[in-house]
Structures are given as structure tokens and as C-alpha cells.
Amino acid sequence: MTVSRRPLTATTALATTALAALLIALGGCAALAGPTAEDRAAWRAWFEQAMEAGGGIATGAAFSAPDDATPVDVSPAQPYRAVELRCDGTDRATFTLTYTGTGEATTVTQEIVCHQGGALTPIAIPIAVGDLTRFAASATSPDGEGYWVAALQK
């Protein structure tokens, strides 16, 4: 069997180059298309609702400004069993949680999948902390988009 190969014509080469450039351009547009103003407004609304639901024993912030999270001071010291971590506007987040209590102070790191702000399994507070006197949290995400909330649970 003989296979005949013909050289590319100028028209075929030009069409192939144009198609490749179009595919690259379309891929670049999709990558640049990021969140819309409506997305960001929805994330902000979710954040405000989640903080209200925390009943004053929650902290949170935008991923772009994690230092804006206000620590929760607990007075008098009280027992809390867990903290619920939630986030919206990104796929994954890494939380740094600092518990200060009558027993000890400890800092832990927890990575979660965000599930578009849905409630997740609460993370247990270490027993050695004792009754909680202060709780602080910060969070980061790979893309720096969206919001996070950490709410204490009795």
C-alpha cells in the first residue's frame, strides 16, 4: 500500500494557523472572564447572612482581606464544642484557627472544600482548651475570591 503525501498549500497552512490562533484567543478569554459584579454581590449577601446566623459568636471576612476578621471575645469563659467553617466564591480554603481558653491556647490549620457556602461538618475544638475566652480565625483561598465565616457552636 502506498500513501501519497501532498505538501500543505498556502491556503491550508493559513487556515490551520488561523484556527489555532482562534482557539488560543478563545481559551484566553475564558481564563480572563473571572467573577462578575453580580457574583461578588451574591457572595457579599451570603457573607452578611452567615454572620447574622452566627449570632455574635462568628468571625469572617473577604478572602482578599483576611486581616479584617474580628476575634470573638467570650466573657465569661464558656464551653464551646465546635466551630463551623463556611466559604463561598472559591472552591477551597485554608483556615487558621486560634483558640484561647482556661486550659490552654492552641492554633490549628484546617483545609476545606467550600461547597458554595453550604453548611459543613463542624470541626471539634480541642478539649485541652477548656472553656473558651477568645477565638480568632483567618482564611486564605488559592484565588483570593469570595468570603469565609467561622462560627462557634455550643
Per-residue pLDDT of 89-109, as tens digits, reads 999 999 999 999 999 999 999
Q: Mean pLDDT over all residues of the chain?
A: 85
pLDDT number for residue 55:
85
The residue with greater pLDDT, 132 or 18, is 132
pLDDT number for residue 67:
82
Give backbone dihedrals phi and psi of 146, rounded to 5 degrees, phi first: 90, -165
Amino acid at 22: L
The position carrying cell 483570593 is 144
Domains in the chain with CATH codes: 37-153 (2.60.120)
pLDDT surpassing 60 at residue 17: no
Following CA atoms 101, 107, 112, 117 in sequence, which dihedral angle do they give, to the nearest 10 degrees?
A: 50
pLDDT number for residue 25:
45
pLDDT surpassing 60 at residue 21: no
Q: Among 67-76, 79-88, 125-134, which stretch is predicted with the lowest mean pLDDT?
A: 67-76
Per-residue pLDDT of 22-65, as tens digits, reads 444 444 444 468 899 999 999 999 999 999 998 889 999 999 98
Of 93, 87, 100, 78, give the one whose Cα is nearest residue 142: 93
